Amino acid sequence: MQNMLNKTKGDRWIWLIVILLSIWSLLAVYSATGTLAYKRGVGTEAILMKHLMFVVGGLALMYFSHLLDYKYYAGISKLLMVITIPLLLYTLLFGANVNEASRWVTIPLINQTFQTSDMAKLALITFLARTLTRKQENIKDVKKAFLPIMGSVCVVFILIALANLSTALMLFGVSILLLIIGRISVKQIAIVCLGGLVLLTAVVFLGPRRKTYVSRIEVFMHPEKADPDKSFQANQSKIAIATGGIMGKGPGNSTQRNFLPHPYSDFVYALIIEEYGLVGGLALVVLYLLFLWRCILIVTQSPKAFGALLAAGLSFSLTIQAFANMAVAVGLGPVTGVPLPLVSMGGTSILFTSVAFGIILSVSRDIDEKKADSTTSDKEKNKEKKVIIGEIPAMA
């Protein structure tokens, strides 16, 4: 155990944030899953133990991911993209249909569902970071740099958007941010945005879930005219937040958990505010903002472009996802199926989010090691100077 702690490197603040979010996740999930446990005919403790296994598994993946030199993720990204695109296509055609969306693939033997878009987010961001780094000398070249980048972004976007538009839009936004940081020209970025807009329009008005997307937008824009059944989730979430007050009802004392359809995943932030109040809600916001700030420091200090792009892309993705989830819970956006990173209950979401945190910590670990080597080198040079000066004979 002591050996593992000695090998734990990287930004200490990010480690602390991960631990706090994990503890909060266990408290929230235990409080929110009473109704789910009743429907499944199991005890709440059984669901909590399963969630705990994923949390511990996520921490283990984070630990091993941060030990691996981040430069190896450049090669891994190619393999991930080769696996991800066929897997996304398979999910659309043959995936498990849950809530009228084919987002999951059932893993044989263990009978555990696997959300392929979680892998796709990690794959595309690492692949873009690698491609933008490798193509810097030809970054303005349309054939050598622009087309491969645009092709990967648009293909992944359309494959995810057909079943999960909110995740696809967030991933597309992160991709555009990476293109800006990677010095892609404004003209080329505008072309990517135009291509994304065309694909978005096609998905919203022609895709298999077009009725769901249009309905959610209409409910959000005109809640007073909406069908009560369609606005039920949003209304129950607002009730939870309104009754939470400043200090909340206390851990485990939520009443809206019995009415919210997904108080342990999509609307876990509403349950947190109900139980921990405005103070708890703001504390969670501060944790994600602190995480983003620490990641920005990592980006600015990284000596290599790949490390900077990798940390920037993953941190933007996690932070945007967190604030998208919180915005939905407080009524600032239409209802989506986006989980709160490291807090919402969900197997693959926790595991891949943990890997993303681990990669960011790997970049941070590399920065710390280079600083330590530089400090050691400076000390050795100073010692050599003192020895040389000491050997010079004193002038008579």
28-72 tens-digit pLDDT = 999 888 888 888 888 888 889 999 999 999 999 999 999 999 999
- pLDDT single digits (tens) 133-189: 887 766 666 667 777 778 888 888 888 888 788 888 898 899 889 888 887 778 888
What is the pTM (predicted TM-score) of this model?
Answer: 0.88
Residue 396's pLDDT is 39
Q: Please give the average per-residue pLDDT across 89-110, as a whole number.
A: 69
Is pLDDT above 50 for 366? Answer: yes
H helix or E strand, kind and range, residue 113: strand 112-115
At residue 340, φ and ψ (nearest 5 deg) are -85, 120
Tokens of 267: 């609307």
Determine contact, residues 288/322, Cβ cutoff 8 Å. Answer: yes
| pLDDT band, residue 24 (cuts 50/70/90) | very high
The predicted model gives 357-369 an average pLDDT of: 91
For residue 339, give Cα distances in angstroms to 66, 323, 342, 349: 23, 10, 9, 8
- Tell me the average pLDDT of the chain: 84
**Position 83 pLDDT exceeds 70:** yes
Position 395 scores a pLDDT of: 44
**Secondary structure in 3-state letters for 177-212:** HHHHHCCCCHHHHHHHHHHHHHHHHHHHHHCCCHHH
CB count, 10 Å around CB of 54?
A: 19
CA distance 179 to 1: 41
8 A C-beta contact, residue 219 and residue 226: yes
Q: What's the pLDDT score for residue 135?
A: 75
As given in the structure block, the two tokens for residue 283 are 């504390």
Residue 118 host element (H or E): helix 116-134
Dihedral angle computed from the Cα positions of residues 191, 193, 195 and 199, in that order, rounded to the nearest 10 degrees: 180
With cut-offs at 50, 70 and 90, classify the pLDDT of residue 276. Answer: very high
How many Å apart are CA 110 and CA 265, to the nearest integer? 22
